[in-house]
Amino acid sequence: MVPAYNYKKYFPADFADLRRNKFIAHQCIKISVICEICVKYCFKDLLEWCQIYNFKYMKEQIAEWQKFLKDKTAEEVISFAIEKLGESLAFATSLAIEDQVVTEMITKITPFPFIFTLDTGRLFQETYDTIENTSKRYGIKINIMFPDNQEIEEMVNNHGINLFYDSVEKRKLCCKIRKINQLQRALSGKKGWITGQRQEQSITRYGLNKVEWDETNLLIKFNPIADWTEQQVWHYIKTNNIPYNHLQEQGYRSIGCLPCTRPVAESEDFRAGRWWWEKPENKECGLHKGYKGIKV
């Protein structure tokens, strides 16, 4: 559901008028607002109508943006995103080389970006070192989102410490509790987010656009380096002397949690080292595709 806001901030209308006045609802949608009055008083007819219209409106808007941004540079895509969404925009970084490129670009455009990362509790030490080095290099705060300790305890005690090796369903459960839930908290109240995803990374990302409607989080998602190659990423890293995780020079072309990541050969798929015991079509944690799995 679209986040609820105080409608009086935008429209000095009585809530009874709001219920029957779809013109006002149209204006709400245009600024990504569904007012708290609709939610509080259970105006389900208007609320559901707003949501349906919101999806339709945003998809039409994003289709136009896709055409406009198709041939734009990564820097231009980021500038466009910041211009349109401002403080309602977030950047999710995993500290991978792609995200380091985007961090460099963002900090050149805005001095106060909202950047966050997800600490699953099972990361490599080198990832933590990269967080520290990046924060110092750019003078920025990287907000670190942690999983809920009670959920972790319940999951581990019910399914085992290494449950992710048992089945795809259990692995996705682990990803949900350690990553997806934190992502949703970080994106709460935001209208859009930026990622470092690239089309080349896996078969699940071949159709990636520079801007998309995120069906899972109901947000606009910008992928400024969607069409970059791995060679382009490394060239930008080296040319600009950007701090990076040195495991990525040791065969770890894609890095996640330590138990679920292994180095790969040059001839292997970019993400072959992630959840290597699974089929390629399953290799998404749910951050970008949503979660469908078992309960704790």
Question: What pTM, to 2 d.p., does this model score?
Answer: 0.77
Question: In terms of domains, do 113 and 176 share one?
Answer: yes
Which residue in 275, 288, 118 sits closest to 216, CA to CA? 288
Question: In terms of domains, do 42 and 162 share one?
Answer: no
In a domain, 158, yes or no: yes
From the candidates 28, 50, 175, 285, give the one annotated as an active-site residue. Answer: 285
Structure tokens that stand for 167 in this block: 């089945």
Residue 242 · residue 100 · CB < 8 Å? yes
Question: In terms of domains, do 127 and 220 share one?
Answer: yes
How many CA within 13 A on the CB side of residue 215?
5
**CA 171 to CA 239: how far, in whole Å?**
38
Structure tokens that stand for 114 in this block: 């909202």
Which residue in 181, 174, 172 sits closest to 293, CA to CA? 172
The reported pLDDT for the residue numbered 15 is 42
Q: What is the mean pLDDT of residues 282-293?
A: 51
In a domain, 143, yes or no: yes
**CA 17 to CA 35: how far, in whole Å?**
13
Q: What b/e sequence results for 226-260 when a residue is b if at least 16 CB atoms lie within 10 Å of its CB, and e otherwise?
A: bbbeeeebeebbeeeebbbbebbeeebbbbbbeeb
Name residue 4's beta-bridge partners: 34
One DSSP character per residue, 209-223 reads: -SEEEETTTTEEEE-
The reported pLDDT for the residue numbered 284 is 60
Question: In terms of domains, do 100 and 241 share one?
Answer: yes
Question: In terms of domains, do 29 and 113 share one?
Answer: no
The reported pLDDT for the residue numbered 286 is 52
Among 68, 83, 110, the domain boundary falls at 68
Question: In terms of domains, do 210 and 154 share one?
Answer: yes
Parallel/antiparallel/unpaired status of strands 211-214 and 219-222: antiparallel
Residue 264 · residue 253 · CB < 8 Å? yes
The reported pLDDT for the residue numbered 102 is 98
The reported pLDDT for the residue numbered 157 is 98
pLDDT of 145 > 50? The answer is: yes
The reported pLDDT for the residue numbered 33 is 45
- Label each residue of 54-74 as H, E or C: HHHHHHHHHHHHHHHHCCCCH
In a domain, 292, yes or no: no
In a domain, 15, yes or no: yes
In a domain, 289, yes or no: no
Into how many domains does the chain fold?
A: 2
Which residue in 242, 11, 21 sits closest to 130, CA to CA? 242
Residue 224 · residue 102 · CB < 8 Å? yes
pLDDT of 144 > 60? The answer is: yes
The reported pLDDT for the residue numbered 111 is 79
Question: In terms of domains, do 144 and 128 share one?
Answer: yes
Question: In terms of domains, do 134 and 243 share one?
Answer: yes
* pLDDT, tens digit, 9 for 90 and up, residues 82-127: 999 999 999 999 999 999 999 999 999 997 789 999 999 999 999 9
Among 68, 101, 117, the domain boundary falls at 68
pLDDT of 12 > 50? The answer is: no
In a domain, 287, yes or no: no
Question: In terms of domains, do 84 and 111 share one?
Answer: yes
Looking at residue 256, the DSSP 8-state letter turns out to be: -
Domain that holds residue 18: 4-68
Alpha helical stretches, state H, the chain:
15-20, 22-30, 36-40, 44-69, 74-85, 97-109, 125-138, 149-159, 168-175, 181-187, 230-239
* pLDDT, tens digit, 9 for 90 and up, residues 37-86: 444 444 445 445 455 555 666 778 889 999 999 999 999 999 999 999 99
- Give catalytic status of residue 285 as yes or no: yes
In a domain, 201, yes or no: yes
The reported pLDDT for the residue numbered 59 is 77
Among 47, 68, 89, the domain boundary falls at 68
Question: In terms of domains, do 117 and 56 share one?
Answer: no
Which residue in 262, 261, 259, 256 sits closest to 287, CA to CA? 256
In a domain, 294, yes or no: no
**CA 263 to CA 273: how far, in whole Å?**
6
pLDDT of 23 > 60? The answer is: no
Question: In terms of domains, do 53 and 91 share one?
Answer: no
pLDDT of 1 > 60? The answer is: no
CATH of the domain at 204: 3.40.50.620
pLDDT of 163 > 50? The answer is: yes
Question: In terms of domains, do 31 and 178 share one?
Answer: no
